Amino acid sequence: MTIEEKFKKGDIIVCNGCKDMAVYDKVDKKGYMHFKKYYCRMKETFIDVKKYTLQINYQKFWHVATDEEEEKFKGFEKDETEQKNTDKRELEKTPE
């Protein structure tokens, strides 16, 4: 079975319906899309891409991000990094 990929490795892609955003990685031999990063809009957080894949036929519901959408995604990444740094500082302040 030949699987035609709609996206290239590293593309930032957006779901047409729920507006989830992801960095596309590859399709495996079983026909599942893998991601380098995946931002879930409903949960407003990044989810573990090691546990999350989508069947290749779902790519029809996704498109390559526009410049504006890419900027939003980069903002989510920045927010996540800042939150992790804040959490780390808070843990360091906590006396044991």
- pLDDT tens sequence across 24-44: 999 998 889 999 999 998 888
Cα atoms found within 13 Å of the Cα of residue 80, Cβ hemisphere only: 15
Average pLDDT, the chain: 86
**pTM of the model as a whole:** 0.77
Start-to-end C-alpha separation, the chain: 57
pLDDT for position 2:
59
Q: Give the residue extent of every domain in the chain.
A: 12-93
Length of the chain: 96
